[in-house]
Copies of this chain bind each other. A is one copy, B any other.
């Protein structure tokens, strides 16, 4: 099915991607401005289903790397996106035929659309995480045993770094060190593979999913019914099979840019039906660990998203503020992350959290039993 992304689609995709981005993936607003500008200049972007990719395609995942705190203040120049595409073509000797989000999260859902508009290429309706993750090896390609291949980093100074790391872990280490040196943010291409590998690895339909989420949060459900402000979070949870973990007010917040990441934690005091409860969120770019009254409520690789309690608008780790009234929801991650390789790659132990991963739906069922 041939579809196009127009300027009018961007806000809904960005909104949904901010939910799937679980707080990270770069600033969605900044990303949406770039995407809209480039669609205005170069026309709508053709969107390909993952299964439309042919073996002859060369699929380029492109996005920003670095601390979201930097992405707010740093607009990827068009020249930077073009330089990255040119660098991968020169380094590999193969012409890109499609771009793809490496993660359907925040600004990183927008940059591939922007790059596609700029280069006159289609964008793939899929990504390599089904969410956002903080580290470069946390991709479905890695889970399937594919290395990062030839990777590209470019910055706004005009520096270009092309690496052939031995594996995904080394790709992350080298890229992070270079990104920190480049000022904390850069444009990255990695896991650039032929259409056959992209078909095998990409999680399909995630741009479409983001758009559906965005539409709900803007007040229109899948059947076109109008939603009141206070119905939206419930409608979203129903649509996604998500769990509403906690309603609360940010009572304490630590956040710092450290080693190319935004790291920190937030403490919430319960409001409404959660009054009297306490909740803690830990993040490294993305929300990774949620605990209610000290008990595990949800943990990576399941998705933890923070929404404005009144409007349902997603809140990034960077834009979270003291006193904000929020709802925390959790969405079951894609099954690829629920394998032993998936949990080893992006589960709690990798981030140093001393908890066992339990599927968020099972945690929720247990919590309900306790209440009942």
Q: Contact between A174 and B164 (Cβ–Cβ < 8 Å)?
A: no
Does A275 reach chain B (CB closer than 8 Å)?
no
The interface residues of chain B lying within 8 Å CB-to-CB of A159 are: 163-166, 170, 174
A154 to B318, CA, bound (A): 36
- Chain B CB within 8 A of A231 CB: no
Chain B residue at minimum C-beta to C-beta distance from A90: B91
Size bin of chain A's contact surface: 20 to 34
Interface centre among A173, A177, A182 (most CB of B within 10 A): A177
Give the distance in Å from the alpha carbon of A164 to the alpha carbon of B87 in the complex.
10
Contact in complex: B170, A160 (CB < 8 Å): no
Bound CA span A182–B176, Å:
12
Knowing A174-B178, A177-B180, A177-B181 touch, does A157 contact B166 (C-beta < 8 A)? yes
Output the least CB separation between A317 and chain B (Å): 24
Which residues on the B side are within 8 Å of A174 (C-beta)? 159, 161, 178, 181-182
Q: Which of B170, B176, B178 contacts A157 (CB 8 A)?
A: B170
For A158, list chain B residues within 8 Å (CB): 166
Please report whether the interface of chain A is mostly helix, strand, loop or mixed according to DSSP: mixed
Pick from B161, B176, B177, B180: contact of A162, CB below 8 A: B161
Residues of chain B contacted by A181 (CB below 8 angstroms): 173-174, 176-177
Q: Decide: B160 and A164 in contact? CB cutoff 8 A.
A: yes
Complex: chain B residue closest to A161, CB-CB? B163
Copies in the assembly, this chain? 2
When chains A and B are docked, how far (Å) is the Cα of A318 from the Cα of B180? 29
From B157, B163, B180, A160 is in contact (CB under 8 Å) with B163
Least CB distance, A65 to chain B, in whole angstroms: 14
Q: In whole angstroms, how far apart are the Cα atoms of A323 and B165 in the complex?
A: 44
A182 to B158, CA, bound (A): 23
A254 to chain B, nearest CB (A): 26
- Nearest-neighbor residue (CB-CB) of A182 within chain B: B174
Measured CB to CB, the closest approach of chain B to A155, in angstroms, equals 9
Task: State in angstroms the CA–CA spacing of A164 and B163 once bound together.
Answer: 11
Q: Which of A174-223 contact B (CB under 8 A)?
A: 174, 176-178, 180-182
The residue that A91 contacts in the complex, of B162, B166, B178, with Cβ under 8 A, is B162
Closest approach, in angstroms, between the C-beta of A192 and any C-beta of chain B? Answer: 15
| A165→B173 CA distance, assembly (Å) | 19
Residue of B nearest to A181 (CB): B177
Further 15 A-B residue pairs, CB within 8 A, beyond A160-B163, A174-B182, A178-B178: A91-B91, A91-B162, A157-B166, A157-B170, A158-B166, A159-B163, A159-B165, A159-B166, A159-B170, A160-B164, A162-B162, A174-B178, A174-B181, A177-B177, A177-B180
User: Nearest 5 CB-CB pairs, A to B?
Assistant: A177-B181, A160-B164, A177-B177, A158-B166, A162-B162
